[in-house]
Amino acid sequence: MGTLTEAGLLRLEQGRAAFNRGQYFEAHELWEEAWLELDGVERILVQGLIQIAAGLHHLRQRRPRPAAGLLRKGLDKLARGAFVPPVDLRTAALARDVAQVLAELESAGVSAPNPTLLKL
């Protein structure tokens, strides 16, 4: 099983900070660097975070269809792992919030939800 180097841990933390600022593309890029060091459930969890960040980036760009697909995939990956991240990532709360965003996206007549309200 791959373990994160200190640089990988830093990338996870920097990605979380970027995500919480609403900089979803930057979070995606930072997490991808950490993801490359991992395997197993850790890799799946970080891939889920990457997909959620990419989905929120699409949502912000007013592309709801690819956003919904990526958010669904990311949510599925978060649900699969029993992995406790080595940094303080609130994945359970994020999963709940992403599920709410998906429900809003799939509701007819509802404007696109505001992704900046999601925090990790």
Residue 17 has pLDDT above 90, yes or no: yes
- Crossing angle of helices 40-60 and 91-106, in 10° steps, is 40
Tell me the CATH number at 96.
Answer: 1.10.3450.10
Q: Tens digits of per-residue pLDDT, 39-91?
A: 888 889 899 999 999 999 999 998 989 999 999 999 999 988 666 666 667 88
Question: Model-level pTM greater than 0.75?
Answer: yes
> How far is Cα 11 from Cα 29, in angstroms, rounded to an integer?
9
- Predicted pLDDT of residue 55: 95
Specify the higher pLDDT residue, 4 or 35.
Answer: 35
1 falls within a domain? no
Beta carbons within 10 angstroms of residue 63's beta carbon: 14
- Tell me which DSSP letter residue 112 carries: P
Do the beta carbons of residue 71 and residue 51 sit within 8 Å? yes
Q: 33: buried, middle or exposed (CB in 10 Å: 19+, 13-18, 0-12)?
A: middle
Residue 104: which domain range? 6-117
Task: Report d(CA 82, CA 74) in Å as an integer.
Answer: 15
Average pLDDT over residues 17-24: 94
Q: Is residue 79 part of a domain?
A: yes
The string over 64-83, giving b where at least 16 C-beta atoms fall within 10 Å of a residue's C-beta and e elsewhere, is beebbebbbbbbebbeebeb
Give how many domains the chain has, as a whole number.
Answer: 1
Token look-up 């999601």 returns 118
The pLDDT confidence band at residue 112, using thresholds 50, 70 and 90, is: low
